[in-house]
Amino acid sequence: MLIYGRHPLREALRAGIVPKTVYVADGTRLDEDIKWMLAEDNVPIRNMPRSQFENMLKAHGIVEGHQGVAADIGEFPLTPLKDLLQRALETNGVVLGLDHLQDPRNAGSLIRSAEALGACGVILPPVRSVGITSTVVKASAGACFHIPIAIGNLRQFAKRFEDAGGFIAVLDMDGDDIRNAQKLRPLFLVVGAEGEGVSASLKAIAHAVWRIPMVGKVSALNAAVAGAIALWEVLHRQ
């Protein structure tokens, strides 16, 4: 995987990931802490003419926000589903499920919120989902390197989660006010894609369906905002 931008590179290094190569466009100065971490791990740095650098990123579908810095980190370090389930049970924690989100900025923002607010992991489905891409990593500001992320079938995980003593909750505009929600732990909280929402198969097995109450004229919040509010509610208000 090719990641880009200063924050993602810094957080990858802080998480112990050693890039194969770091690419720097001519005229770009690396921050001193990044230079120090790269030198400590003997990571090769390749300086490139800016046009060549930008052409390389365009070949990976990256056209903006690179700040003149990119790095090849190999495969993204995913967490096995069984390990994430065990972590949730041991910590009595909250796992965030992203049900068929296809907007990488929403997905990255939700991962960033999950890490910042104290969720114990994130799961994305293997199909009809953005997955973990360079843009998702950038949108998460590198937070995806500090929280376990798994890829797997959400309904199957939810059933295993329930069998192990956990609870499932989904966000839906027709649900109950989340401010009045009963505290459920450990919890698998699922956020759906904009428009489609959470799939019916997950709603059918959920112990709770919650909505974010609104008093303004806007009919709905986007997935990233709704998910962040829900995470705050279940992690810090309940």
Domain-wise residue ranges, the chain: 2-72, 81-237
Q: How far apart are CA 85 and CA 169, in angstroms?
A: 16
Q: Given the DSSP bridges, would you call strands 69-72 and 2-4 parallel, antiparallel or unpaired?
A: antiparallel
Query: Structure pTM?
Result: 0.95
* CATH architecture group of domain 2-72: 2-Layer Sandwich (3.30)
pLDDT in tens, 111-151: 999 999 999 999 999 998 999 999 999 999 999 999 999 99
The predicted pLDDT at position 238 comes to: 63
The predicted pLDDT at position 230 comes to: 97
| Residue matched to tokens 């999950």 | 114
Average pLDDT over residues 161-166: 97
In CATH, what number does 81-237 get? 3.40.1280.10
Average pLDDT, the chain: 94
Average pLDDT over residues 54-72: 92
